[in-house]
């Protein structure tokens, strides 16, 4: 029932969730902090769905064998489920990082100081500020775009082997 309710929340548009999410971040005192940008992207229904589906493919026999050996629920989770879930966790990490890094509207809402702005927000506002004055600074915009993409490439290359095996596991039957 809980999982079905979580899946139903996927039908809610992200723009509708902006105001309640902002109020939660405001009450937690995370406005104008990077943690206010990162946490909403880490805890998402898509990530929960990916992890649940991956963990459900782990054979129950492994858990039963650990119980026979006297392992507690936490020990089973820490010693069996968690190590076997590395591909799914890498996939979730990549999706979360890309979502948080590529965000424009959410960082614009949460971060008030210009010094805290993400590169995407700074590039977008740089273009709008300079259009009226002297035209778009294309060289600066392209250099900024390269800087925006470099961390994404680095994270993907670091987690690539886990990411590919995590994606392929759900595609192969049996």
Q: What's the pLDDT at 162?
A: 79
Cβ contact 65:143 at 8 Å: no
What tokens appear for 157 in the block?
A: 């290359």
Contacts for 30 with CB less than 8 Å, ≥ 6 apart: 36, 39, 110
pLDDT per residue over 10-48, tens digit each? 888 888 989 999 999 999 999 999 899 888 888 888 888
pLDDT per residue over 92-144, tens digit each? 888 888 888 888 899 999 998 888 888 888 888 877 777 666 666 778 888 88
Among candidates 40, 49, 52, 50, which has minimal Cα distance to 14? 40
| pTM of the entire predicted model | 0.77
Q: Report the top-level CATH class of 2-171.
A: mainly alpha
C-alpha distances (whole Å) from 59 to each of 3, 54, 80, 112 are 20, 11, 11, 48
Q: What's the pLDDT at 144?
A: 86
Q: Where are the domains of the chain?
A: 2-171
Residue 133, class by beta-carbon neighbours within 10 Å (0-12 exposed, 13-18 middle, 19+ buried)? exposed
pLDDT per residue over 61-100, tens digit each? 999 999 999 999 999 999 999 999 998 898 888 888 888 8
pLDDT category at 7 given cuts 50, 70, 90 is confident
């Amino acid at each position: 029932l809980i999982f079905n309710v979580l899946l139903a929340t996927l039908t809610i548009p992200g723009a509708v969730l902006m105001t309640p999410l902002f109020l939660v971040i405001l009450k937690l005192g995370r406005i104008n902090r990077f943690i206010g940008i990162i946490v909403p992207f880490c805890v998402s229904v898509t990530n929960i769905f990916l992890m649940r589906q991956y963990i459900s493919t782990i054979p129950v026999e492994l858990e039963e064998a650990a119980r026979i050996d006297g392992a507690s629920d936490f020990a089973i989770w820490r010693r069996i489920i968690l190590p076997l879930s590395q591909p799914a966790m890498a996939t979730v990490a990549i999706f979360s990082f890309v979502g948080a890094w590529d965000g424009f509207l959410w960082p614009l809402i949460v971060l008030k100081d210009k010094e805290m702005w993400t590169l995407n927000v700074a590039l977008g506002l740089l273009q709008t500020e300079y259009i009226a004055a002297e035209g778009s600074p294309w060289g600066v915009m392209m250099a900024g775009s390269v800087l925006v993409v470099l961390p994404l490439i680095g994270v993907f290359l670091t987690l690539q082997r886990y990411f590919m095996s995590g994606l392929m596991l759900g595609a192969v039957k049996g």
